[in-house]
Chain A
Amino acid sequence: GAVVSQHPSWVICKSGTSVKIECRSLDFQATTMFWYRQFPKQSLMLMATSNEGSKATYEQGVEKDKFLINHASLTLSTLTVTSAHPEDSSFYICSAPGQNYGYTFGSGTRLTVV
């Protein structure tokens, strides 16, 4: 079945630094990748949608300059958290539309900013 590989699975970084999260579709082409964020005991919230070859679309309240999304190819989408701060600490997950209306999720990235 469709697999989305997400790396890293966890990362700890210092406040003010940038972190890049990668999502690769391994056995299918993902023209669209959704990026979600989940805070503890909260739902997964859609942050942005990346489309191969065009600019990402961001949900209301999500800072474009802070969360840089690049969909460089049909198999790779990246999310870069720039100038990270402790309040950016969260669980980030990517997802690509799969077959039969199923959405395939990556394994998630636990970001901790100290």
Chain B
Amino acid sequence: DQQVKQNSPSLSVQEGRISILNCDYTNSMFDYFLWYKKYPAEGPTFLISISSIKDKNEDGRFTVFLNKSAKHLSLHIVPSQPGDSAVYFCAARGGADGLTFGKGTHLIIQP
């Protein structure tokens, strides 16, 4: 049973436009959500996070929105840049356990 779902395996966005990556979760005990960026054969790099008590967190071009009632979060990247092309993982934390990851969304920024 997948507790964190990223239903879009890939997403193609034109440079300069907004990229929106979506994530759904099922476990209401998750208290913290994180987004990671990953290149092939490398470890994930932390991007941005949000506590379950908030509904928005912004850091530069990255904004994460959390809708607890819908158990849905999204990552907005604006404006999208070529260097943003990578696989983005949504992750959730519940208590002291390790993170639960979604399957990732491959973001492709087109010039």
Contact = CB atoms under 8 A, between A and B. Distances in A.
B93 interface: yes
A36 B34 contact: no
A105 B34 contact: no
B103 A42 contact: yes
B99 interface: yes
Interface residues of A, number: 27
A105 B44 contact: yes
Contacts of B36: 105
Interface residues of B, number: 25
A93 B43 CA distance: 7
A106 B34 contact: no
Interface in A27-41: 32, 34, 36, 41
Contact of B34 (A10, A41, A103, A108): A103
A10 B46 CA distance: 22
Interface in A2-16: 4, 6, 9-10
A95 B98 contact: yes
A4 B44 CA distance: 12
B97 A103 contact: no
Interface in B47-74: 49, 51
Interface of A: 4, 6, 9-10, 32, 34, 36, 41-46, 49, 91, 93, 95, 100-108, 110
Interface of B: 4, 9, 32, 34, 36, 41-46, 49, 51, 89, 91, 93, 96-104
Given A6-B43, A32-B96, 5 more contacts: A4-B43, A41-B103, A43-B4, A93-B44, A101-B51
